[in-house]
Structure 1
Amino acid sequence: MGMNATQLIKMANQIGAFFASQPNPEQARADFAMHLKKQWDPQMRTALYVHIDATAGEGLSAFALEAMQGLREQIEPLARSA
């Protein structure tokens, strides 16, 4: 896995900035979540959640963090079998 948290945070913030400019915040978050689900492979999404859980989302924009926490069940790969 060649992606480190710093790269993922930068990418998530850039994508977040794009979607955050939409007039409807709820739709913006949903579109952001859909983009990550479609465009990011599962390892990338998992790695970003590992970072969020470890650091409370250090480095992420408020928009990106809010979307990732609020829509976690949509974005996070369902690889967690207890």
Structure 2
Amino acid sequence: MSHDKIQAKLVYMANQIATFFKSQPAEEAAPGVATHINKFWEPRMRRQLFEIIDQGGEGLSPLVLEAAPLIHRPSEAAKSA
């Protein structure tokens, strides 16, 4: 799968998570998105999500961007492991 298709799939998945958490109280929505991604996305997926965010977050829901500071950014050491 091409890099662009992988990124599009991650944007789609992150936005699906955000859509679910939009129905939660506002103060729980962003932490809920972050908790879900931290719990269920492997470091490689989170690293690719941060690539998208660092490039401006094109296509990502505002709620995903709000949750970004709460999502665990994988270290560079994990990248080479």
Same fold (TM over 0.5): yes
Letter in 2 for 1:49: F
Which residue of 1 is the match for residue 27 of structure 2?
26
Please, what is the CA RMSD of the aligned residues?
Answer: 1.9
Identity %: 45
How far apart, CA to CA, are the structure 2 residues paired with 1:64 and 1:21? 14
Does 1:61 find its partner at 2:58?
A: no
The structural deviation recorded for 1:80 is 3.7
**Contact residue 34 and residue 75 of structure 1 kept, 8 A:** no
**TM-score, length-scaled by structure 1:** 0.79
How far apart, CA to CA, are the structure 2 residues paired with 1:20 and 1:35? 13
- Superposed CA offset, 1:22-75 (max 9, x none): 02x221111111110110000000001011112x1000011111111x32xx42
Q: How does 1:26-45 map to 2 (within 5 A)?
A: 26-45=27-46
In the superposition, relative to structure 1, how do residues 40 and 30 fare at CA in structure 2: closer, same or farther (>3 Å)?
Answer: same
Letter in 1 for 2:18: G
Q: Number of residue pairs matched?
A: 75
**TM-score, length-scaled by structure 2:** 0.80
Q: Which runs of 5+ in 1 are unaligned?
A: none
